[in-house]
Amino acid sequence: MNSFVPQNQSDGAHVSRETAPWGDTDLDVMAPPPGIDVEVDTPIARAARAAMTVRGHGDDTWPRPAECRIMSVANQKGGVGKTTTTVNIAVSLAMHGNRVLVVDLDPQGNASTALGMERGADSRSIYHCLVEDESIRDLARPVPDIPGLWCVPATIDLAGAEIELVSLVARESRLKRAFAAYDVSDLDYILIDCPPSLGLLTVNAMVACDEVMIPIQCEYYALEGLGQLLRNVDLVRSHLNPTLDISTILLTMYDGRTRLASQVADEVRGHFGDLVLSTLVPRSVRVSEAPSYGQSVMTYDPGSTGAVAYMEAAREIAHRAKTGARN
Ligand SMILES: Nc1ncnc2c1ncn2[C@@H]1O[C@H](COP(=O)(O)OP(=O)(O)OP(=O)(O)O)[C@@H](O)[C@H]1O
Ligand SMILES: [Mg+2]
């Protein structure tokens, strides 16, 4: 929980946790000192934040792209926010009138968990599409409580797919073939959550998509390894998918209190210019709590700073889309 526990206060309004007679979490509702951005966690605070969010963003429907946009969310660095970004952007787009499919291409299955996909030992998953040619249509499942959102889940079988794919025909384009066999014309977005590697699963995503979105964590070493990712995008573009582009960079886990975070953000903007969304996703405990409830932060705490930021980032993405034909 994101709590503010006051220390050494002398004004009587604050009580240390040790001395509080009730000894419990009421301390968490105390207001933080000015300048410290802490999310207060009470039902009333949540409702107030949700109301403010709704009031601030009255337009319910965003533009739909003329054609289905297929985006891979990739960065071979682990833990930079790929899955969190995929899930929350997908939910935001679906909540604003778009029809969205999430493809979980990571054997860890984190996107599937966050979207409430129940999986058992014999569940069908993206593995069966890649290795056994099952159709995406048969594998896509509606995401509970979010109309317009579907997910093709990942199961642990996928861990073996990198090796099994090696001996298959057209091993780099299995996912592309599956999309081609599935009529994507009634979808607005397909978001592919990639694993933290540049192996055959990520190559399949890059061959199947038109755009790559790269989440970059605002931390030291953020740019390390990015050159390798960019070279891979170039390689896939020159050999397998000539229309592939890096369309979007999203800065994640931004901590506005540190100078380092703003230095990293400036450096990324210096490198990538307009590709970087103007929205920064802040580090927010609510974002990290949501998956354990099988939810996105958009539904878990819609007024939290993380949810508002992801909503804004999705709005930017939607407004950058080619619009018109289906509006
Ligand atoms: N804005 C945020 N604020 C706080 N925690 C966050 C935020 N974004 C992501 N996290 C947490 O950071 C961790 C890594 O995020 P996530 O799983 O999205 O990264 P990833 O790039 O998909 O990781 P992997 O490479 O393992 O697939 C998770 O525990 C997630 O809940
Ligand atoms: Mg992930």
- The predicted structure's pLDDT at residue 59: 58
Q: What is the pTM for the complete model shown?
A: 0.84
Q: CA dihedral in degrees (22, 27, 28, 33; nearest 10)?
A: 180
What DSSP character marks residue 191? Answer: E
pLDDT in tens, 209-225: 999 999 999 988 888 88
HSE at residue 274, side-chain half, CA atoms within 13 A, is 1
Band of pLDDT at residue 79, cut at 50, 70 and 90:
very high
Q: Atom 31 in ligand 1: which residue has the minimum CA distance? A: 288
Token pair belonging to 15: 């009580």
**125 Cβ below 6 A of ligand 1:** no
Domain assignments of the chain as residue spans, ordered by start? 69-319
Model confidence at 206: pLDDT above 60 = yes
Residue 49 in this model has a pLDDT that exceeds 70: no
pLDDT of residue 41: 58
Q: Which residue has the higher pLDDT, 50 or 118?
A: 118
Tell me, using a 6 A CB cutoff, whether residue 202 lines ligand 1: no
pLDDT of 31 over the 90 cut: no
**97 torsion bin: left (phi>0), alpha (psi -120 to 50), beta (else):** left
* 100 in Cβ contact with 148 (< 8 Å): yes
CB atoms under 10 Å from CB of 62, counted, come to 20
Average pLDDT estimate for 251-257: 94
Q: Which of 226, 309, 306 has the alpha carbon at shortest distance from 264? A: 226
Strand partners, 10: none
Cα 221 to Cα 239: distance, rounded to the nearest angstrom: 30
Mutate to test the pocket of ligand 1, among 83, 106, 198 (most ligand atoms within 8 A of CB): 83
Other Cβ atoms within 10 Å of 294 Cβ, number? 18
Residue 231 · residue 237 · CB < 8 Å: no
The arithmetic mean of pLDDT across residues 180-204, rounded, is 94
The residue with greater pLDDT, 40 or 183, is: 183
Say which ligand is closest to the CA of 81: 1
Residue 29, pLDDT above cutoff 90 = no
When pLDDT is averaged across residues 237-266 and rounded to a whole number, the result is 95
Query: Span 69-319: which CATH code?
Result: 3.40.50.300
- DSSP label of 159: G
Task: Specify the residue with its C-alpha closest to ligand 1, atom 8.
Answer: 81
pLDDT computed for residue 243 by the predictor: 94
- Report pLDDT for 32: 42
| Model pLDDT for residues 276-295, shown as the tens digit of each residue | 999 999 999 999 999 999 99
Q: What is the C-alpha separation between 191 and 250, in angstroms, rounded?
A: 14
Q: What is the pLDDT of residues 93-143, one digit of tens each?
A: 999 999 999 999 999 999 999 999 988 878 999 999 999 999 999 999 999
**Centre of ligand 2 from the C-alpha of residue 199, in Å:** 15
C-alpha–C-alpha distance, residues 193 and 104, integer Å: 5
For residue 221, the model assigns a pLDDT of 85
Residue in 327, 308, 313, 304 with CA at minimum distance from that of residue 48: 304
Residue 180 has pLDDT above 80, yes or no: yes
Q: Is the CB of 83 under 6 A from ligand 1?
A: yes
Looking up tokens 């802490």 gives 38
Is 92 close to ligand 1, i.e. is its CB under 6 Å away?
Answer: no
Q: How confident is the model at residue 44 (pLDDT cuts 50, 70, 90)?
A: low
Q: What is the pLDDT of residues 235-250, one digit of tens each?
A: 999 999 999 999 999 9
What is the arithmetic mean of pLDDT over 46-53? Answer: 53
The whole-number pLDDT of residue 113 equals: 94
Q: What is the mean pLDDT of the chain?
A: 83
What's the token pair of residue 173? 């384009």
Task: Reply yes or no on whether the pLDDT at 23 is more than 70.
Answer: no
> What per-residue confidence (pLDDT) applies to 182?
87
140's tokens: 């896509």
For the CA of 289, the closest atom of ligand 1 is: 31
